[in-house]
Amino acid sequence: MGISLADYRRSIPLLLAFIFGLLYAFEWYVDIRIGDFSLSSFLEKEMLRYFNAMYSIAIGIGAINIFRIHYRTVSRRRPYWEFSLLVLILIPVMAIISTLGGRYAIDPKGEVIPKAVYDFFNPIWNVLYWKVMSIINVMMFALLGFFIISAGYRAFRARNLDSAILLLAGILVVMGQAPVNAAVWPGFETIKNWLMDVPNVAGRRGIILGAAIGGLAYGVRVIFAYERRPTLAGGE
């Protein structure tokens, strides 16, 4: 009975997850030194480089996905397909302008690409970045204020004891954070600081510790192949 290609496709990702997962976890706790050479720091640095390469590839995959999704929306004339068309046009346009004339341009000194190319694209990039993208970003951020107040009005209800406590704590923190309250009643400030420093810190610590322990348990499951989804070895 031979080993099929499907077996390899399942077992190789699991084996890689086991080797590198164990190695990375191991180097964190045990420093193996041979003279001045530290195996742990070598592994940490080298493996981080590979991780970074993989992150970069993931960005490329993300870009391809964006194009696939929006292309499908445009070709099938789904609702708001016009916005998808804008995405399809503007992403490559901005990418090209940024590469040739942006702050991180590929050759701003004109060593390989003629300097005229950078000089042509740089003013366009300046307008698109500072007068369009930056302004749109700020506008989107500013809109949040309108939505938060509207949402607070329509949805933040004291329906039961838990939500009533949350509501009261929220109102006290907001009142304490409003700068003018120092003149209205300094007690708001004291209450806000207590809420932030005591119940908030206690709750956050619980969440942080819980998430860390959960992450550790998940990591162990991945390394020992109890969890197969991250490696796609489960057949998905």
Count of residues interacting with another protein (CB under 8 A)? 55
Phi, psi at 73, each rounded to 5°: -60, -40
Among 26, 42, 51, 194, binds another protein (CB under 8 A): 51
Q: Which of residues 125-154 bind another protein (CB under 8 A)?
A: 129-130, 133-134, 137-138, 140-142, 145-146, 148-150, 152-154
Q: Which residue's CB is nearer to another protein, number 1 or number 183?
A: 183
Query: Under the criterion CB under 8 A, does residue 201 sit at the interface with another protein?
Result: yes
Q: Which residues contact 76 (CB under 8 A, 6 or more apart)?
A: none
In three-state secondary structure terms, 38 is strand
Q: Which residue's CB is nearer to another protein, number 80 or number 147?
A: 147
Query: Under the criterion CB under 8 A, does residue 158 sit at the interface with another protein?
Result: yes
What is each CA distance from 32 to 16, 21, 36, 37, in whole angstroms?
Answer: 22, 17, 10, 9
Among 178, 211, 212, 213, binds another protein (CB under 8 A): 178
The CA distance from 186 to 179, in Å, is 10
In three-state secondary structure terms, 32 is coil
Six token digits for residue 128 = 């698109």
Query: Under the criterion CB under 8 A, does residue 49 sit at the interface with another protein?
Result: yes
Q: Which residue's CB is nearer to another protein, number 77 or number 159?
A: 159
Q: Which of residues 95-114 bind another protein (CB under 8 A)?
A: 103-104, 108-109
Residues counted in the chain: 236
Q: How many separate helices (H) and strands (E) can be counted in the chain?
A: 9, 2
Helix axes 81-101, 115-126, angle to 10 degrees: 130
Residues that bind another protein (CB under 8 A): 44-45, 48-49, 51-52, 55, 103-104, 108-109, 129-130, 133-134, 137-138, 140-142, 145-146, 148-150, 152-159, 167, 170-171, 174-175, 177-183, 186, 189, 193, 196-197, 200-201, 204-205, 208
